[in-house]
Amino acid sequence: MRKLSEKDVKVFLKEEDLPFKTTEEVPPLEEIIGQERAARALEFGLKIKNEGYNIFVSGLSGTGRTTSVEAAVKKIAETQPTPDDWCYVFNFHDPDKPKALRFPPGMGSVFKKDMEKLINELKVEVPKAFESKIYEEHKSEIMKEFQKYKEELFKKLEESAKLASFNIKHTPSGIIFIPTIEGKELKEEEMEKLTDEAKEEIKKKQELLYEELSSVLREIREKEKITKEKLEQLKKDTALFTIRPRIGELKAKYKDFPDVIKYLEDVEKDMVENVDDFQEKKEIEILPGLKLPTKENTFIKYKVNVLIDNSKTKGAPVVKETNPTFYNLSGRIEYKPQLGAMVTDFTMLKPGSFHKANGGYIILQARDVLTNYFAWDTLKRTIKNKQITIEDINEQFRLINTPTLKPEPIPANFKVILIGHPLLYYLLYNYEEDFRKLFKVRADFSNMMDRDKKGISSYASFISKICREENLKHFDRSGVAKVIEYGSRLVEDKEKLTTRFIDIADLIRESNYWAEVDNSKYVTEKHVKKALEEKIYRSNMIEKRIEELIKEGVIMVDTDGEVKGQVNGLSVITLGDYSFGKPSRITARVYVGRSGVINIDREIKLAGTIHNKGFLIIKGYLGEKYGSNFPLIFSASICFEQLYEEIEGDSASAAELYVLLSALSGVPIKQGIAVTGSVNQKGEIQPVGGINEKIEGFYYTCKAKGLTGKQGVIIPEKNVKHLILNDEVTEAVKNGKFHIWAVNTVDEGIEILTGKKAGERREDGTYPEGTINYLVLKGLEELTQKYLKYQEKISGKKKK
C-alpha cells in the first residue's frame, strides 16, 4: 500500500529526450513506426512467390494499416518487372469467344495503332486495286472469253436451226424456234394449211432444236459458273496481292509472338474472303429516319481492344480498389441498344482491378469485399483457378437470354492484400474453408508501441511529417512532449505509445488551429492543451449534466463523512469517441438468514456475465477468509443505487467486497474515498481499465460538491503504470487536495477506507481484537448463532 505522488500519476519527459527546439529540425518520418512485427510479415508475404501466400493485414482502424501497406507494397513493386499488356481481338473461328493476346509492356497500344493504320490504308488501296487497269483487263478477258464461248454456242445453234428451216427468236419468256419455207417464216394460218406429215416433220425438227438449246444453255451455265469462279479468284488474287504485303509487314514486326501471327493470318484470310466489304456501301434505311451503318460495323472485327496498357507503368502495378464489386474486380461486358435490342462486341470488354493489378498487387478492405455480392467468391475463384474471367453475372438471372460474350480468360498472377479487423480474420480463418489456404500470411498491426528513445523520436518525426505535408505550423519541444503524453494516455500506459496515428494527426491539426488563433509562430504545449480541452468540451455535455445532478442531490453520491455499508464505486461511460468516469453509490445490508450474498442487480438481470463472475468470487473470498471454523449462515444484499442500465465488468468487485465487509463489521466507510479494482479469491486486487477516466470523474464530482483535502481514490497497485492524469488532477495530487492510494490486497484497501487495521489471521483462524477482520468474523458468528437459535426455536415448537 502506498500513497502516490505527482510523479506517479503523470509521465514526464526529460529535455534530452527531445534534442531539438522545434520540429523544423526533425526529419520527416519515412517508414512504418512501431510495427516491426507487421513490417517483417509484410516483407515476407510480398516477396515470397509460392501459391497461397496472399496477405491479411489485421489491426484496428487508425493504426496506419492502409498507409503502411501501400508504402511497403509500392516500395517492393518499384523493384519488380513491369507486367505485359493484354488485348482482346475478334475470334474468327468462334465470334462469341474473343481471343486474348499478350504483349510486352507498351506494345499492346502499338499493335492497336498498327491495325488501325492497316485498315485505313487497305480501305484506300483495296478499292484502288479493283479500279486498276490490270484488274479491269483481266476481268475483261474473262468476260470476253465467256461472251465468245456463248456467242459460238448460239452461232452453232443458229446454223442448226437454219439447216432445219427455222428462225431463232428471243422473247421475254425465252428463245423460240419459228419454222420457215424458203426463208420466210410461216404464219399460223399457213401452218394450218400444211399436211399432217409436214406438221409432224416440223414438230420433230423443233423438238431436236429445243434439245440442242437445252444443251447450249447447260453449257453456258457451266461456263458462267467457271467464269464466276475465275472472277472470284481474280478478286481474291487482286485482294491478296494488295493485303498480303501489308499483313506481311506486321507479321515480320511481331514474328516473336505466335498468337499474334496466327491472328494476323486469320485477319488476312477474312479480309480476302470478304473483300467486298472494302467497297463503298450506302447506309441501309431500315425505317424512315432509322439507318443501320454497315461499313463501320464491318471493320469492328479488325479492331484491337487494349484491355491493359502498361506503357506508363514503372515496376509492378499497385491497385487499391475502394469499391470491390464483382464487375469492378473482374471486369465487365458493356452493351449498347441497337434496333430495340442490346448488343455487344469484344471492343466493349472493360478491365477490372484484377486485370490492372495483374503482375503486381491489389489492396482490398476485407469488409468491403465480404459485403459486396459475389465479390468474395470471385476473388477466391480467381486466386484458385489462376484465371481472370470477364463474364456477365446477370446472365444467370435473366428470364430471356441476351446474346453475350465469353472472352478467353487471362492468366492471373497478382498478390492480394486484404486489410481488416482482427475479428474478421478469426471469423474467416475458423469458418471459411478456403481462407487459410489462400491467405497464409498474417501481418498484425499493434495498437501500441514502446515508449522508448526510438518511439519518442518517431513521434517527433511523425509530427514533422504532418506539419510539412499539410503546411502546418511546426511544434516546439513542449508541444511535442504534450502530444507524446497524449499518445501514452490513449493506451493507458506510461511505457507505451498509441499507433492510432489518425488520432495523433487530428490532435496535430487541431493544435495548429489554436496556434493560428493565437498568432503564435510555433505550436506549444498551451495550444495542444487547448485543443484537448476543446475536444473534451465538444463531447462532455452529458458528463457535465451528470455532475450537476450529483451536485443538486438528484443523483445521490456522498463525498464527505462516514457511512456503514456504503461506498463509492467507479465506472466508465463511453459515448462515441469520448469516455468519462462516473461514481455510483454501492450499498450493502446484512440480516439473519441463509440466502448468502444476493446481488440485486443480478437478480433483476441488470448485471452482465463478467460482473456476475466478479460477484461470485466475493463469495469464495468470504468462505476462505472467514469460514474455516464454522459455516457462514447469513443473508446480505448488495446494490448499485440509481443505476438502471446493464452493469458489466468486474472492476467494482473490490468495492462490493469493501461495502459488504463494512456492513458485516459495522465499521463505517469514508465517503470521500472512491474505489476501483477487481478482486480474486485470494483477496488480491487486480488491475482494471479506464483508470484515468475513473479517477478524474471522481475528482470532478468532489470538486463540484467541494474539495476537503481528504478525498481520493483507491486503485490497484498494478494500475499505477497506467496513470496519465490530466494537469488539473495532477496539480491537485501535488498540492495534497486529492489523494490516490495504490493497494495490492483487500486488507490494505479496507484500512484506508475505515481507518482501522485489517488484522492478520492467527493459526487458529481468529483475528486480533478490534481489527476489521475480527469485527467481520464476529458479525458473521452473531448472524450464524441467531439463525441457529431461531432454527432451534422453530424445531422445538414443531416437537410440542
Q: Where are the domains of the chain?
A: 14-30+449-537, 35-83+313-445, 87-311, 543-788
Provide the pLDDT for residue 342. Answer: 79
- pLDDT < 50 stretches in the chain: none
Provide the pLDDT for residue 548. Answer: 92
Candidates 324, 346, 342, 320; CA nearest to 333 is 346
Residue the block writes with cell 480501305: 123
Query: Residue 362 in 3-state DSSP?
Result: strand
Considering the domain 35-83+313-445, what is its CATH architecture?
3-Layer(aba) Sandwich (3.40)
Q: What is the largest CA-CA distance in the chain?
A: 170
Provide the pLDDT for residue 602. Answer: 65
Q: Three-class SS string for 722-791?
A: HCCCCHHHHHHHHCCCCEEEEECEHHHHHHHHHCCCCCCCCCCCCCCCCCHHHHHHHHHHHHHHHHHHHH
- Residue 405 cell numbers, joined: 460474350
Candidates 738, 649, 646; CA nearest to 686 is 649
Fold of 14-30+449-537: Helicase, Ruva Protein; domain 3 (1.10.8)
Tens of pLDDT along 142-160? 888 888 888 888 888 788 8
Q: What are the Cα distances from residue 325, in Å, to 25, 366, 413, 450, 530?
A: 46, 12, 20, 39, 44
Task: Tabulate helix, strand, coil % of the chain (nearest 5).
Answer: 50, 20, 30
The amino acid that residue 421 corresponds to is H
Q: Which of the listed CATH numbers 3.90.190.20, 3.10.129.10, 3.40.1280.10, 3.30.230.10 matches domain 543-788?
A: 3.30.230.10
Provide the pLDDT for residue 677. Answer: 92
